[in-house]
Structure 1
């Protein structure tokens, strides 16, 4: 599986809350960093971050591209059930078919139009 496919599959596992699939795609030594989480490990990610998809009305990947070796750039937008829309960027590192690190960069509120294609 290509690195971009691993990342897309992990995003899909998150949005559908398929934890079993996500656990196969995320490495045991995984590290997750966001403005709210500073280098948390895999267990903390699955406890704190993974279950948050229920707050989404929809989410779609806008751009997914390999960058430099093992890294994949992901731009996605989503709408919360409250109606707020946002865009975020992630930089994922994939090794041997599993994500070893995710760095999330939060964007601000984004647009007021519905997506043409939700994923």
Structure 2
């Protein structure tokens, strides 16, 4: 798979959330897929769908700002706009195995609500 196709796969994954196309997402992820975020530690594909897919209806849209692909890896930075006015920017690292996504690691950015910075609680 070339770099343009990997970027298209990433765009399709984000679009799948907004169109509720779970099949597209399932087909894009490898069977041994893993996901890590500040809330999730290396969860598997079934865990990802349980934690992330079922709770995605709060997203109004994603604005993909940058996609950098190099070989079997890619970074995407996006602005997520939630229903109700909350906005935040994240970066995700994608690792591919052939034409499938094998891993996604999410790095959270700042959050804004109605144009104002929202301080996140420290734990």
Same fold (TM over 0.5): yes
Q: How does 1:74-85 map to 2 (within 5 A)?
A: 74-85=76-87
Rg comparison, structure with higher value: 2
Q: Which residue of 2 aligns with 1:88?
A: 90
- Which string of whole-angstrom CA distances, capped at 9 and with x for unpartnered residues, describes residues 90-115 of structure 1? 00011211100000001112483xxx
Q: Which residue of 1 aligns with 2:64?
A: 61
Number of equivalent positions: 111
Select which of 93, 97, 102 maps to 2:99.
97
Mapped to 2, the partners of 1:49 and 1:96 lie a distance apart of 24
Partner SS state of residue 55, structure 2: helix
Structure 1 unaligned runs (5+)? 113-119
Structure 2 unaligned runs (5+)? 116-123
Structure 1 segments of 4 or more deviating over 4 A?
Answer: none
- Which string of whole-angstrom CA distances, capped at 9 and with x for unpartnered residues, describes residues 54-107 of structure 1? 10122111111113x211110010111121110000000112111000000011
Q: Which residue of 2 aligns with 1:33?
A: 36
Check whether the contact 2:90–2:108 (CA below 8 A) recurs between aligned residues: yes
Check whether the contact 1:13–1:22 (CA below 8 A) recurs between aligned residues: yes
Q: RMSD between aligned alpha carbons?
A: 1.5
TM-score by length of 1: 0.86
Q: Which residue of 1 aligns with 2:55?
A: 52
Q: Which residue of 2 aligns with 1:117?
A: none
Mapped to 2, the partners of 1:59 and 1:11 lie a distance apart of 7
